[in-house]
Amino acid sequence: MFRWRNNTSHDQEIDSVLHESKINELKAAIGPLSGRSLQYCTDACFRRYLEARIWNVDKAKKMLEETIRWRSAYKPEEICWHEVAVEGETGKIYRANFHDRQGRTVLILRPGMQNTKSIDNQMRHLTYLIENAVLNLPEGQEQMAWLIDFTGLSISNTPPIKSARDTVNILQNHYPERLAVAFLYNPPRIFEAFWKIVKYFLDAKTFQKVKFVYPKDNDSVDLMSSYFDDENLPTELGGRATLKYDHEEFSRLMIEDDEKAAAFWGFDRKLQQAVNGHHGADAAPKPIDSASPAS
């Protein structure tokens, strides 16, 4: 009697060996590392950059080297909440207090709640929250989910193209394979022209992760339900939860996470604040109002 071989399992074993070989090849190509670059470049990190470049070692090497230079200059891990808290007063971006069904950290973005003009400061705020989302990933989980709520978006507060381009640049080039999915919930008509431009900034892999969902479309409702528990989702995003962004409470959580980040990366947060001219007493800015996520 003949027995069929499980080719799927065999192929997976081959892929695993090949991928491990590629990771080792990328490590060798990058060369010796030290300090935070060494801490950043884990095997999981090498894998993400290789996946982002379809396992092409040369392209992954170039991408990772650019990120190492960027992190060395921009120092995203050292951004403190008190530096970006004013950007968060309206809750335009915040980490939700729930995960998706796969245990991913969830960021809620509300472009209609834009409250500042400086794109550089806005990108610093976004980078801070991406770093925070990664810091709070459950063990064994590498990715986050984005929920983009267009409530309040109008012609007057639609983000400039530069803001979108910079956002895509940071996410795609310096946090590859960190985004699992991005839901654009009920975008208004004015977003259509904006999207026609923005989509050309996205690479093919990122483009496939963007999902347009509409509350009256059954397929959209089913898609959201496959990723999220309705009891967790805010009503603005088709769920049943009533969530209000509390800036004061969210600030408290971020200050606690700043200490976690400092411990993880191995630097003295208080010394850093002193060097930058900030003090701990200033770390929790008073909110303009109480409008606001779920902490």
Per residue in 123-148, pLDDT tens? Answer: 999 999 999 999 999 999 999 999 99
pLDDT grade for 270, boundaries at 50, 70 and 90: low
- What tens digit of pLDDT does each residue of 42-89 get? 999 999 999 999 999 999 999 999 999 999 999 999 999 999 999 999
Residues 106 and 241 in one domain: yes
Closest C-alpha to 110, from 291, 240, 284? 291
pLDDT tens digits, residue range 192-223? 889 999 999 999 999 999 999 999 999 999 99
The pLDDT assigned to 277 comes to 53
Residues spanned by the domain of 30 = 20-74
Query: What pLDDT score was predicted for residue 281?
Result: 35
Percent of the chain residues topping a pLDDT of 70:
87
Q: Locate 219 and state its tokens.
A: 């397929």
Are 159 and 210 members of one domain? Answer: yes
Asked, for residue 133, whether it belongs to a domain, the answer is yes
Question: Would 6 be classed as within a structural domain?
Answer: no
Q: Does residue 160 form part of some domain?
A: yes
Whether 10 shows a pLDDT value over 50: the answer reads: yes
Q: Please, which pLDDT band fits residue 276 given cuts at 50, 70 and 90?
A: low
97 with 26, same domain: the answer is: no
Q: Does residue 285 lie in a domain region?
A: no
- Give yes or no for residue 272 having a pLDDT over 80: no
Asked, for residue 34, whether it belongs to a domain, the answer is yes
pLDDT of residue 271: 55
Number of domains in the chain: 2
CA–CA separation, 169 vs 79, rounded Å? 18
pLDDT band at 164 (very low <50, low <70, confident <90, very high): very high
Say what the pLDDT of residue 155 is. 85
The whole-number pLDDT of residue 293 equals 38
Query: Residue 289 — pLDDT band, cuts 50, 70, 90?
Result: very low
Question: How are beta strands 93-99 and 105-109 bridged, if at all?
Answer: antiparallel
- Same structural domain, 231 and 190: yes
Are residues 199 and 234 located together in one domain of the fold?
yes
The pLDDT score that the predictor gives to residue 156 is 85
| Whether residue 65 is found in the same domain as residue 184 | no
Question: Over 90: is that where the pLDDT of 14 sits?
Answer: no
- CATH number of the domain at 223, please: 3.40.525.10
User: Is residue 171 domain-shared with residue 209, that is, in the same domain?
Assistant: yes
Q: How far apart are CA 140 and CA 187, in angstroms?
A: 33
pLDDT confidence band for 274 (50 / 70 / 90): low
Confidence of residue 6 (pLDDT cuts 50, 70, 90): low
What integer pLDDT is reported at residue 177 of this predicted model? 98
**170 and 246 inside one domain:** yes
Are 171 and 134 within one domain?
A: yes
Tell whether 49 and 159 lie within a shared domain: no
**pLDDT at residue 171 in the model:** 97
Judge whether 40 lies within some domain. yes
65 found inside a domain: yes
More confident residue, 158 or 134: 134
- pLDDT reading at 284 higher than 90: no
**More confident site: 192 or 34:** 34
| pLDDT band at 243; cut points 50, 70, 90 | confident
Model-level pTM?
0.87
Q: Judge if 166 and 99 occupy the same domain.
A: yes
Asked if residue 270 belongs to a domain, the reply is no
Domain boundary pick from 58, 74, 90: 74
Q: According to DSSP H, which parts of 136-268 are helical?
A: 161-174, 190-198, 204-209, 218-227, 247-265
213 and 177 Cβ atoms separated by less than 8 Å? no
Give the amino acid at 288. Answer: I
173 and 145, same domain (yes or no)? yes
Q: How many CA atoms lie within 13 A of 171 on its CB side?
A: 27
